[in-house]
């Protein structure tokens, strides 16, 4: 059923010949009554900024007849506008209310919704508060609007919502009543984390999980509450060395609360204490990261969750890695410049996934890491001296100066600190190399020179890839997925290039796009 909503109605009347018309209140009342049976033509939501209608009402007619006559004139004018089609910016059309709210949401988070006539009644106060109000009033419509947004757009929306409002919105959108599959729920949390789409703030992350779950079915309040618990657990597991992570996961799964608390996971303990033991074990098992095997054999193919790695590999040649690590100890048979290169790539892809990035088979092959894991790396980093760390910073100074001022923000960004991978003492040194590598990427992309690390991760580096390893004399072919801003890679040719790496000798690496 179509509905006409008149937001503001103004009458200007001229009486001639001494006629006495109805009072303005009577006229408005009968005008509304005359419009009640009217159903506008056309589908969707039409927004008409201003509609001027003139009509003549005989003085002999009653107030009700005059109101119906004016309503009929307005109805004809509305039908004429609809028949003529949209005419921005004064006549706008959306397929439905959800599409209208989706556009409002995007304009809201971009800061361009205030003062727009078409959003009258929606905006006011903070963007976060406005979203909270609409979620309370129209939860199902707002949910449909949010789910129509692309992943990068939705991530931007979630990050702009204040944590308190994020919790309230997640609660408002959780209107389902179906059964909850804890494995599926934990899989969604893990998947968002691996894709770099799980915010660090727990309430924002919970909202992100609720929205991801809602793409499949309505989310119940119980599922939303469990999502929050699993977000806390995922945060406790993320970024730890493999052995420490496995021990913590085992303690949480088995309800060994003392061990988990000693490991610094008291919030995860509090989240899981009320859980049924069976569900707890299933959820933690699903959350625990699965590390792929390293060093792929010739003739194999593997899927990488971190396609951005392969965009960064050819950029390593721009960094003074050999000079910066001269005199450093190797890690077994692995040269120190390759270790720093691996850590720099892990910094750029995201510290929360650093361990999984290091274990990526393609990265292991590209840098000749020989199965190096995060435990060995942490021990090696602890042995790097103060003088050696200072030498790295000095060697990178020309690079840092060349990429200023954008790089200044990176050197203060905690998101580029791989503390759990290499320890506190070496993390800030690793961040120097990571920031330099990040800017080698951003300065090659049109309009992205000063883009933040999180923005680049979400829009340029967040995609999957397939790595095909042939025989020793055949190239390694990397089929890249499609990031949100893949057009920029296409414009620069970064997604279709050939290069060689020291660790793989004369073997060529070929980057190309999936069909």
pLDDT tens per residue across all 515 residues of the chain: 456 666 776 777 776 665 566 667 777 777 777 777 777 776 788 888 888 888 887 777 777 777 788 888 888 888 888 888 888 888 888 888 999 999 999 888 778 888 888 888 886 678 889 999 999 999 999 999 999 888 878 888 998 899 999 999 999 999 888 777 898 899 999 888 877 788 889 999 999 999 999 887 788 999 999 999 999 999 998 867 666 788 889 889 999 999 889 888 999 999 999 999 999 999 999 998 654 444 555 567 888 888 999 999 999 999 999 999 999 999 888 899 999 999 999 999 877 677 778 888 899 999 998 877 777 888 899 899 999 999 999 999 998 888 887 888 888 888 788 887 888 889 899 999 999 999 999 999 999 988 888 889 888 998 889 999 887 778 999 999 988 888 899 889 999 999 999 999 889 999 998 86
For 270-292, the DSSP string reads HHHTTS-HHHHHHHHHHHS--PP
H/E element, 508: strand 508-513
Same domain, 155 and 63: no
Counted domains in the chain: 3
DSSP one-letter code for 475: P
Domain boundary pick from 241, 265, 287: 287
User: Which one, of 208, 195, 202, 206, lies nearest residue 457 by Cα?
Assistant: 195
Rounded-to-integer distance, Cα 307 and Cα 312, Å: 9
Same domain, 142 and 166: yes
Peptide linkage before 393 cis (omega within 30 of 0)? no
**Which two tokens mark 480?**
């890249």
User: Is the residue at 293 inside a domain?
Assistant: no
User: Is the residue at 294 inside a domain?
Assistant: no
Same domain, 246 and 150: yes
Same domain, 373 and 271: no
Same domain, 103 and 145: yes
Same domain, 281 and 312: no
Q: Give this prediction's pTM.
A: 0.60
Burial, 91: exposed, middle or buried (Cβ in 10 Å; 0-12, 13-18, 19+)? middle
User: Is the residue at 468 inside a domain?
Assistant: yes
Rounded-to-integer distance, Cα 261 and Cα 413, Å: 28
Report the SS3 class of residue 143. helix
Q: What angle do CA 416, 418, 422 make, to 5 degrees?
A: 150
Domain that residue 23 falls in: 1-94
Same domain, 36 and 108: no
Same domain, 113 and 181: yes
Domain boundary pick from 64, 94, 124: 94
Same domain, 182 and 264: yes
Counting other chains too, the contacts that 269-276 makes at CB distance below 8 Å and 24 or more residues apart are 271/228, 271/229, 271/230, 271/232, 271/233, 272/229, 272/233, 275/229
Helices 202-214 and 182-194, packing angle to 10 deg: 120
Same domain, 337 and 394: yes
Same domain, 76 and 123: no
Domain boundary pick from 69, 94, 119: 94
Report the SS3 class of residue 53. coil
User: Is the residue at 391 inside a domain?
Assistant: yes
User: Is the residue at 465 inside a domain?
Assistant: yes
Strand 508-513, strand 476-480: pairing:
parallel
Q: What angle do CA 387, 389, 390 make, to 5 degrees?
A: 65
User: Is the residue at 370 inside a domain?
Assistant: yes
CB distance 265 to 420 below 8 Å: no
Same domain, 152 and 265: yes
User: Is the residue at 273 inside a domain?
Assistant: yes
For the chain, the residue count is 515
**Which two tokens mark 394?**
């000095």
């Amino acid at each position: 059923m179509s509905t006409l909503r008149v937001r503001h109605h103004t009458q200007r009347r001229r009486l001639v010949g001494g006629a006495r018309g109805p009072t303005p209140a009577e006229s408005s009342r009968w005008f509304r009554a005359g419009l009640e049976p009217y159903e506008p033509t056309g589908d969707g939501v039409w927004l008409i900024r201003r509609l001027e209608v003139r009509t003549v009402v005989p003085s002999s007619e009653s107030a009700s007849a005059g109101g119906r006559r004016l309503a009929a004139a307005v109805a004809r004018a509305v039908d004429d506008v609809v028949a003529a089609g949209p005419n921005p910016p004064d006549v706008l059309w959306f397929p439905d209310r959800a599409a209208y709210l989706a556009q409002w949401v995007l304009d809201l988070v971009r800061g361009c919704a205030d003062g727009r006539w078409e959003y009258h009644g929606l905006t006011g106060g903070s963007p976060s508060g406005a979203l909270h109000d609409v979620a309370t009033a129209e939860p199902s419509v707002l949910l449909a609007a949010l789910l129509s947004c692309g992943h990068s757009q939705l991530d931007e929306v979630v990050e702009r919502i204040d944590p308190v409002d994020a919790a309230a919105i997640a609660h408002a959108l959780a209107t389902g009543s179906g059964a909850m599959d804890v494995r599926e729920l934990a899989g969604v949390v893990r998947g968002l984390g691996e894709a770099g789409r799980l915010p660090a703030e727990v309430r924002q992350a919970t909202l992100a999980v609720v929205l991801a779950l809602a793409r499949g079915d309505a989310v119940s309040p119980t599922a939303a509450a469990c999502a929050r618990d699993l977000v806390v657990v995922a945060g406790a597991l993320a970024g730890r060395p493999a052995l420490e992570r496995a021990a913590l996961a085992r303690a949480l799964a088995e309800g060994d609360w003392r061990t988990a608390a000693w490991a610094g996971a008291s919030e995860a303990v509090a989240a899981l204490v009320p859980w049924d033991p069976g569900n707890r074990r299933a959820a933690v098992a699903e959350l625990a990261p699965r590390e792929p095997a390293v060093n792929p054999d010739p003739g194999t193919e593997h899927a990488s969750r971190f396609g951005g790695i392969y965009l960064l590999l050819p950029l390593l040649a721009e960094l003074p890695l050999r000079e910066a690590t001269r005199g450093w100890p190797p890690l077994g048979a692995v040269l120190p410049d390759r270790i720093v290169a691996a850590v720099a790539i892990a910094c750029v892809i995201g510290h929360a996934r650093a361990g999984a990035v290091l274990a990526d088979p393609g990265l292991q092959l590209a840098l000749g890491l020989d199965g190096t894991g995060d435990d060995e790396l942490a021990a090696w980093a602890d042995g790097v001296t103060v003088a050696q760390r200072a030498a790295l910073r000095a060697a990178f100074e020309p690079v840092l100066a060349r990429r200023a001022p954008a790089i200044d923000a990176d050197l203060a960004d905690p998101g580029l600190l791989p503390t759990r991978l290499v320890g506190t003492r070496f993390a800030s040194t690793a961040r120097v190399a990571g920031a330099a590598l990040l800017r080698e990427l951003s300065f090659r992309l049109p309009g992205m020179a000063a883009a933040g690390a999180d923005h680049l991760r979400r829009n340029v580096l967040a995609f999957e890839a397939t790595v095909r390893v042939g025989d020793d004399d055949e190239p390694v072919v990397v089929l890249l997925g499609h990031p949100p801003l893949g057009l920029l890679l296409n414009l620069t040719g970064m997604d279709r290039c050939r290069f060689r790496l020291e660790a793989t000798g004369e073997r060529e690496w070929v980057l190309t796009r999936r069909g």
